Amino acid sequence: MAAIYSLFIINKSGGLIFYKDYGSAGRMDTNDSLRLASLWHSMHAISQQLSPTVGCNGIELLQADTFDLHCFQSLTGTKFFVVCEPGIQHMEGLLKVIYELYTDYVLKNPFYEMEMPIRCELFDLNLSQAIQKDRVSLFGR
Amino acid sequence: MQFFGGSSVAEIAPSPAAPPGTATGLAGNNANMLYIFNRSGVCLLYREWHRPLHTLDPQQDQKLMFGLLFSLRSFTAKMDPTSVDKGNLGVPLLPGQGCSFYSFRTNTYKLSFMECPSGIKIILVTHPKTGDMREPLRYIYNIYVEYVIKNPLYVHGSPIKCELFNTNLDQYVKTLV
């Protein structure tokens, strides 16, 4: 029923700093999520090398049979990507909202160490609220 | 997983023909490049129509492309949120096994991918605003079957050097919007 299945945040070296699952079938253990995050980081970089024209910033949308993956890369190299149902249009907006929450509740947190896993309560709280609001607006239509 | 359910070569209609180059203004062609690989990673065909930037030499470029697709398929099979048993990352997948991606888009290009049951992979790189290319890729596969597979002089697993195939492919790609 979820529009979003999961959210990953990767630091600029490709390490996973945040992972939240919102309803995929089957469990993914920590090691698997770490591996997938690093794999995505590398493929994002390789896709820039294969571009036919200059100025490529990496994969923004990956479309598969059963899901879509939207990725947003900030100017500092931090990547936010969501796995969601195929065909959802407004994910770019949601990713920007998540990025704003990240800057407000993680980066401005004086106890947060850069590039380390995110353990900020306020971030989790506000993130759940934002996802909930998004889900309601999606299904309310 | 159904690949070509029911449609034969005679029935398949290509996407609506448009005057060449209308969508993006590129002289005559909207597609940038096309790659065809077989299941062992041999690049059977590389055609380029509009590629201002060459980052690597052709050999490296083809190997990189194949490697990227191999890893992406592994990645999507493991990421699939609807299947319970996803197998292990890094295990080579058979054609059709697990969830596969069909396209990805960056800010400068869109890559559309199709893998056939025989392991032949067709990759088309186009302008980022291109629509769904799955039907055109199936049509290209049919052109491949007609002019390459049915060519008695063609040796399977070797690079494609069939004039008729190249001509028909160029003609068809010109009509893609």
Q: How many CB pairs under 8 A join A and B?
A: 125
Query: What pLDDT sits at residue A43?
Result: 95
How far apart are the C-alpha atoms of B123 and B114, rounded to whole Å? 7
Instruction: Tell me what pLDDT residue B17 has.
Output: 42
pLDDT at B139: 94
pTM of the model: 0.85
pLDDT at B1: 39
Per-residue pLDDT, A111: 94
pLDDT exceeds cutoff 70 at B175: yes
For chain A, the domain total comes to 1
User: How would residue B168 be classed by pLDDT, with cut points 50, 70 and 90?
Assistant: very high
Mean pLDDT by 10 residues, chain A (141 residues): 83 94 83 93 93 92 94 95 90 93 94 93 94 82 48
Provide the CATH number for the domain around residue A72: 3.30.450.70
pLDDT at B22 over 70: no
DSSP one-letter string for B45-88: EEEESS-----S-HHHHHHHHHHHHHHHHHHHHHH-TT-S----
**Residue ranges of domains in chain B, CATH in brackets:** 19-81+90-175 (3.30.450.70)
Q: Is B57 on the interface with A (CB under 8 A)?
A: no
B110 strand-pairing partners: B105, B126
pLDDT band at B138 (very low <50, low <70, confident <90, very high): very high
High-pLDDT (> 90) share of chain B, %:
52
3-class DSSP state of A61: strand
Which of A100, A82, B160 is CA-nearest to residue B169?
Answer: B160
Contact: B81, A66; criterion CB under 8 Å: yes
Q: What is the pLDDT of residue A2?
A: 53
Check pLDDT > 50 for residue B21.
no
> pLDDT value at position A46?
93
Shortest Cα–Cα distance, B23 to chain A (Å): 17
Name the pLDDT band for B11 (thresholds 50, 70, 90): very low
- On chain B, the residues whose CB falls within 8 A of the CB of A68 are none
- B64 CB neighbours in chain A (<8 A) are 46, 49-50
The parent domain of residue A116 ranges over 4-139
The predicted complex's ipTM stands at 0.91
Write the pLDDT tens digit of every residue in B55-111. Answer: 889 999 999 999 999 999 999 999 888 887 767 777 888 888 888 999 999 999 999
Res. B13 pLDDT band, cuts 50 70 90: very low
